[in-house]
Structure 1
Amino acid sequence: MPFYADVPARRTRQVLADAGCLALVAAAVLAGRTVHGTVAAAAEPARRFADGSASLAQRLTDAGDAVDGTPLVGDEVADVLDRSAGSASSLARAAAGQHEALLDLATTLGVLVALVPVLLVVAVRAAQRVRWARRVRDARALAADLAGDRVLALRALQRRDAGPLLAVDPDPAGAWRDDDARAVRALADLELTALGVRRRVTATPTSTAPRSP
């Protein structure tokens, strides 16, 4: 199927639309990264608290080991230090869990903020391009013979503005009804041009039917 139009003006609009789509995708990805970075930064205090609590627990454990076995009060002090180390370790695990949860949230939000707009933009643009490509494929197939030209001419009468139609013939509908080959060909070309397509198969008019009075 065709990817871009043959007519430069239509092709330029398509390229600009595709570039705009890519710009929106880039903006969505940047927004996702920004959201991820912001939420991840909010998790940094939890990480520092977890590291500090773990370090405190290790120091308390070392201190308890150092005084363990000291006469008179060694065992009691060691027990207090061990309990304090356990509490610090619990705080460290809680803070580490909070840090991990915030990082997971940052990843989830970042992906959603980036992915949802990207999917929407790409889906809409892809649907537009596929629809246009199918119309172009059908139009090129119709332009291969005179009967197809009549179908294209009828579409032009239904879809195009009055100005271009009247430029083909003062009575374009009458010319189509009377099977005026020249007018039918011109109306078909008008429809092809509107789609951004150049005629590739020449359907040479063989005769011009007489116009009814």
Structure 2
Amino acid sequence: MRLYAQTPARRSRQLIGDLIALSLIAMTVAFALVVREAILTLAEPGRKAESAGDSLASGLDSAGDAASKVPFVGGSLKKPLQSAADAGTNLSDAGRSLQDTVGHVATLTTIALIALPVAVILVMWLVPRLRWIRRAATTRLLLDAPGGADLLALRALTGPQRSLAALATPPGGLADAWRRGDPDVIADLSALSLRRAGLKP
């Protein structure tokens, strides 16, 4: 299986196309990661709320424990402090929930920013490259098969006519020479068909 053409011009175009496609994929991934980091900064209020809620709940729990030791009224003093500590715990939970939500949004956005452009790049770049690889392999197999040079010559005759002008035209024309089985004309035409595919005889 040949990955690149043998003719310099087509091989150069393929190499440049591969470099451009890989660079675009790399830039897409880098951009998606930058966007992810920017989205994750939105979780900072959640981290602060979690830290503040934990500190508040811990402080009020300690105060409630201390207040419960006051004779006669300790139980009454502890209840409002415990309720406030529960509110601090709720604040901490809300902060964690905000961080989780921002993390999920960042992950989904990153996946979308990578998957969609990369899919477009692959369709525009990889599909033609795979098609060329298959065509080159088929052409090479055809050339090696019995009568393959004749078929490649026929393919050259039925292809773009402007490239035929560069060939020496025998009396009666190329098609007539091909029908007669002229080995020089068949060799020239099959070589032309190979060059069109980016291959050398």
Give the TM-score band, short-chain normalised. 0.7 to 0.9
Which residue number in structure 2 is paired with residue 86 of structure 1?
Answer: 86
Partner of 1:167: 166
CA offsets, 1:154-201, max 9 Å, x none?
212222341x202214433333334332222111111111211111xx
Q: Which amino acid aligns with 1:65?
A: D
Greater Cα shift, 21-30 or 107-116: 107-116
Give the alignment's TM-score, normalised by structure 1. Answer: 0.83
Structure 2 alignment gaps of length 5 or more: none
The alignment's TM-score, normalised by the length of structure 2, stands at: 0.88
Q: Answer yes or no: is 1:157 the counterpart of 2:154.
A: no
Q: Residues of 2 paired with 1:13 and 1:24: CA distance? A: 16
In structure 1, the partner of 2:186 is 184
Question: Offset at 1:129?
Answer: 2.5
Alpha-carbon distance in 2 for matches of 1:98, 1:143: 65
CA contact (8 A) 2:49 2:94 kept: no
1:207 corresponds to: none
* Distance 1:125-1:71 versus aligned 2 partners, 3 A rule: same
Aligned-residue identity in percent: 32
Whether the aligned pair in 2 keeps the contact of 1:28 and 1:115 (CA below 8 Å) is no
Q: CA RMSD in A?
A: 2.0
Match of 1:193 in 2: 195
Contact 1:10/1:196 (8 A) holds in 2 = yes
**Aligned residue pair count:** 198
> What is the rounded CA distance, in whole Å, between the counterparts of 1:196 and 1:19 in structure 2?
19
Range with bigger deviation, 135-144 or 41-50: 135-144
Preserved CA contact (<8 Å) 1:52 1:92 = yes
Give the drift of 1:72.
5.2
Match in the other structure for 1:203: none
1:52-88 deviation line (CA, Å, top 9, x unaligned): 1111111111111122121354332221111100011
Which residue does 1:95 correspond to in 2?
95
